[in-house]
Amino acid sequence: MRKSGILLHITSLPTKGGIGTIGKEAYDFVDFLNKSGMSVWQILPVSPTGFGDSPYQSVSTYAGNPLLIDLELLKEEGLIDSIDPMEDEEPDRVDYGRVVEHKTQVLKEAFKVSYKKCEKEVQKFIHKNAWVKDYALFSAVKEHFGMISWMSWPDEDIRMRRRDALNHYKNLLKESVNYYIFVQYLFFKQWFALKNYANKKGVRLFGDMPIYVAEDSADVWTNPKVFQLDKNRRPTFIAGVPPDYFSMDGQRWGNPLYDWEYLKETNFRWWIKRLKAMNQIYDILRVDHFIGFANYYSIPADEETAKNGKWKIAPGKAFFKAVKQELPNMDIVAEDLGAVNKRVQDLLKYCGYPGMKVLSFAFSGDPHDPHLPQNYEENFVVYTGTHDNTTAEGWYQAASEGQRALADKLLRRQPWQSFSYTMCREAMMSKADTCVLPMQDILSLPDTARMNIPSTIGGLNWRWRLLPGQFNDTLADKILSLNIMAGRAFNETKEQK
């Protein structure tokens, strides 16, 4: 069935307190999607943000981001007595430093006031989520050592996870460990309430899973055999991409690479557990950098750039055979952008997962460009752009006259139409089964509203937010008309039959 949705990360919602949350505004956005005829809400990873506030560099692949917990909902439940309001100095931006300080203070107060009365529910949560104990201990020890990377922890015994050290720190930091577990309990209680509401409204949550995990993470500390580490548990080879037109040095991401031989010997058990967890959290999962399951770029960890890396063969079909056996009905979308060779194409065909098309990549002048709508097949998700691209209006402003003329011609743009609207219309009218539009393009916003500039840290990355009132009934009606015209409008009554 043809369907459509919006790409908008939760941090970008116009919640009071400096950052979007899974509170009232998230429920309002679900209602907005429903009114618009949309049935998909795509978000970025909801794990705790790490270095540079990136949701793609997290201390845990399983944990939820405490910054997304809604404080007003905690107050309504009686888990906190009062909230000192945090003023939004820049309502269209997330100020991570202030938000982290404010929210941590409130959550620690909630722990002191309400942990005892929630303890039974917390224990049930632990029983269903075995990962949370290792994550909480990792977080408590990390805080104990001043938040430095676990690779630099001064106590070698706990760094190497020796049994006596594990028991010592569990006892020493018991209160802190319980706090981190409590915060995860709060997050997932709110998360699944929102997911249940969205599903009842006919809206599916479309999540995003990075292929790699951060070096400074509970995942690497807890599962060293899964990664290419030396005897001191330091990465030997790391992830990235080779030099190209955009970067002479390539991209050195720094994530430790997987030991695929070990994973294959264990029938990919670590990965299957990870995917099962994602399958509970989301209705649809985008697997970031799908290419890495066919072949991956391996860079020696002591290299300062990605120039001297090499392509290595990944497990490919063997891995996805195990996934399909364990999770036959999992709804996966493959992020297949980048160096797509025949091995990647064959793997995608074997899996049957939809890949991605990005309309803003289409104006190369090549009539065979795979991102041109006339070259699409049905089994794809089409976007005007992704979180890593400039907005449609930003692209148009930066393009050459020749590129603009070509884009206007291919899109059949009329003089009175904004470029963003034309892009959205063309994506919606394409034959791709699913169309997901970034909220910035629906609102025709300039490049200052983009979410991220790859290979850069800081600045405006991950900070963009909607202003109050920017999604409303008038906009919903406009999107609904486009959905009806494109044959993508979600009809709740029809679906339930």
By annotation, the residues acting in catalysis are 288, 335, 388
The answer to whether the beta carbons of residues 65 and 18 sit under 8 Å apart is no
3-state SS, residue 251: strand
Q: Report the alpha-carbon angle 468-470-473, nearest 5.
A: 115
140 and 177 in contact (C-beta within 8 Å)?
Answer: yes
Tokens of 193: 């309430």
Which neighbouring-strand residues pair with 284? 206
Q: Do 418 and 443 form a contact (C-beta atoms < 8 A)?
A: no
Q: What is the 3-state secondary structure (H, E, C) of 26-84?
A: HHHHHHHHHHCCCCEEECCCCCCCCHHHCCCCCCCCCCCCHHHCCHHHHHHCCCCCCCC
| N-terminal to C-terminal alpha carbon distance within the chain | 14
Residue 231's identity, in one-letter code, is K
The DSSP code for 359 is G
Number of helices followed by number of strands (H, E) in the chain: 18, 12
Do residues 56 and 288 touch, judged by C-beta distance below 8 A? yes
Q: Are strands 434-438 and 3-7 parallel, antiparallel or unpaired?
A: parallel
CA proximity to 359, closest of 340, 372, 374? 372
Contact 373, 359 (CB under 8 A): yes
207 and 282 in contact (C-beta within 8 Å)? yes
Is residue 490 classed as helix, strand or coil in its secondary structure? coil
